[in-house]
Amino acid sequence: MSSVLDGVRVIDFGQSIAGPLTGMLLADQGADVMRVESPGGPMWGTPANATLNRGKRSILLDLKSEAGRDASPILKN
């Protein structure tokens, strides 16, 4: 059975509550959500992070470095 958002791809750069929560809700509806984590870890180190990041794929990317910016196709375009 297909979901409402099958085929939709989302990149989650969010650090507070609204961004990760929105990504979680989109993933719950079938979107393919990629979470971009910073090397220092989440801004808010709470147990809620496990819930807010459920259903997402994750990548560690340092967007402050040249290599990290080069690895991101979004920042290239």
In terms of pLDDT, which residue wins out, 59 or 26? 26
pLDDT over threshold 60, residue 71 = yes
Give the pLDDT score at 16: 83
Give the pLDDT score at 66: 85
Contact (CB, 8 A) for 34 and 10 = yes
pTM greater than 0.75 (yes/no): yes
| Across 31-54, average pLDDT | 86
Phi then psi dihedrals of residue 69, to 5 deg? -65, -35
